[in-house]
Chain A
Amino acid sequence: EAGVAQSPRYKIIEKRQSVAFWCNPISGHATLYWYQQILGQGPKLLIQFQNNGVVDDSQLPKDRFSAERLKGVDSTLKIQPAKLEDSAVYLCASSLRVYSGGAAADTQYFGPGTRLTVL
Chain B
Amino acid sequence: AQSVAQPEDQVNVAEGNPLTVKCTYSVSGNPYLFWYVQYPNRGLQFLLKYITGDNLVKGSYGFEAEFNKSQTSFHLKKPSALVSDSALYFCAVRDMENYGGSQGNLIFGKGTKLSVKP
* Residues in A lying within 8 Å of B, measured CB to CB: 4, 6, 31, 33, 40-45, 48, 50, 55-56, 91, 93, 95, 98-99, 103-113, 115
Whether, in the assembled complex, B70 has its beta carbon less than 8 Å from a beta carbon of chain A, the answer is: no
Q: Is the CB of A50 within 8 A of B108?
A: no
- A–B complex contacts, Cβ < 8 Å, 30 sampled: A6-B43, A33-B105, A40-B111, A42-B109, A42-B110, A43-B44, A44-B108, A45-B106, A48-B103, A50-B103, A55-B101, A55-B102, A93-B44, A95-B103, A99-B100, A99-B102, A103-B103, A104-B99, A104-B104, A105-B32, A105-B49, A105-B51, A107-B34, A108-B34, A108-B106, A110-B36, A110-B44, A110-B46, A111-B43, A115-B41
Interface stretch (choices B14-22, B61-69, B73-81, B90-98): B90-98
Whether, in the assembled complex, B45 has its beta carbon less than 8 Å from a beta carbon of chain A, the answer is: yes
Chain A's closest residue to B36 (CB) is: A110
Query: Told that A40-B111, A95-B103 touch, could you supply 10 new A-B pairs with CB distance under 8 A?
Result: A40-B110, A42-B108, A43-B44, A50-B103, A56-B105, A91-B44, A103-B103, A110-B36, A111-B43, A112-B43
Interface bracket on B:
20 to 34
Chain A's closest residue to B99 (CB) is: A104
Q: Which residues of B17-52 are within 8 A (CB) of A? A: 32, 34, 36, 41-46, 49, 51
Q: Of A43, A56, A115, which one neighbours B102 at CB under 8 angstroms?
A: A56
Chain B's closest residue to A56 (CB) is: B102
Q: CA–CA, A99 to B95, complex, Å?
A: 13
Q: Is the CB of B46 within 8 A of A107?
A: yes
Q: Is the CB of A104 within 8 A of B43?
A: no
| Contacting residues, chain B, for A45 (C-beta < 8 A) | 105-106
| Contacting residues, chain B, for A115 (C-beta < 8 A) | 41
Q: Is the CB of A107 within 8 A of B49?
A: yes
